[in-house]
A = this chain, B = another copy of it.
Amino acid sequence: MVEIAVMGYGTVGSGVVEVLTKHCEIIAKRAKEQIHIKYILDHKEFPDSPFAGRFTKSFDTILNDPEVRIVVEVMGGLHPAFEYVMQCLEHGKSVVTSNKELVAAKGAELLKTAQKNNLNFLFEASVGGGIPIIRPISQCLAANEVIGIAGILNGTTNFILTKMISEKMNFEDALALAQKLGYAERNPAADIDGLDSCRKICILASLAYGKHVYPEQVHTEGIRGITGIDVDYASAWGGVIKLISMVKRLENKKVQVIVCPMFVSRENQLATVDDVFNGILVRGDATGDVVFYGKGAGRLPTASAVVADIIDCVKHFKARKYLFWEDGSPDYVEDYRENKDAMYVRLNTDDEAAAWKYICSQFGKVERLSRRGAEDGEIAFVTPMMKEKEITERLEKLSGFGLQIKNTIRISDL
A interface residues, Cβ below 8 angstroms from B: 19, 23, 26-27, 30-32, 124, 129-132, 135-136, 139-145, 269, 272, 284-295, 298, 300-301, 303-308, 310-312, 315-316, 318-319, 322
Contact = CB atoms under 8 A, between A and B. Distances in A.
Contacts of A288: 130, 294-295, 298, 300-301
Nearest to A319: B319
Contact of A145 (B23, B290, B305): B23
Most interface-central of A19, A269, A286, A293 (chain B CB within 10 A): A286
A319 B315 contact: yes
B291 A141 contact: no
Contacts of A139: 132, 135, 308, 311-312
Given A132-B140, A135-B140, A139-B311, 11 more contacts: A27-B142, A129-B287, A130-B284, A143-B305, A287-B304, A289-B295, A290-B292, A290-B293, A290-B294, A290-B295, A315-B322
A19 to B, nearest CB: 5
Contacts of A292: 290-293
A11 B32 CA distance: 39
A126 to B, nearest CB: 13
Most interface-central of A32, A139, A143 (chain B CB within 10 A): A143
Nearest to A305: B140
B322 A290 contact: no
A274 B312 CA distance: 34
A13 B153 CA distance: 36
20 contacts: A23-B145, A27-B142, A30-B142, A31-B142, A32-B322, A129-B287, A130-B286, A130-B287, A132-B132, A132-B136, A132-B290, A136-B136, A140-B305, A142-B311, A143-B306, A143-B310, A286-B303, A288-B294, A289-B295, A293-B293
A216 to B, nearest CB: 28
A145 B286 contact: no
Contacts of A141: 132, 304, 308
A268 to B, nearest CB: 10
B301 A286 contact: yes
A-B CB proximity, top 5 nearest: A132-B140, A130-B287, A143-B307, A286-B304, A290-B294
A177 B249 CA distance: 36
A62 B303 CA distance: 46
B287 A294 contact: yes
Contact of A286 (B19, B30, B136): B19
Given A288-B294, A289-B294, A304-B284, A311 B143 contact: yes
Contacts of A308: 139-143
A19 B287 CA distance: 11
A141 B141 CA distance: 18
Contact of A295 (B31, B287, B303, B304): B287
Contact of A316 (B142, B143, B287, B319): B319
Contacts of A19: 143, 286
B319 A300 contact: no
Nearest to A26: B145
A326 to B, nearest CB: 12
A304 B135 contact: no
A308 to B, nearest CB: 5
A285 B303 CA distance: 12
A318 B315 contact: no
Contacts of A305: 140, 143, 287
A303 B288 CA distance: 12
Contacts of A26: 145
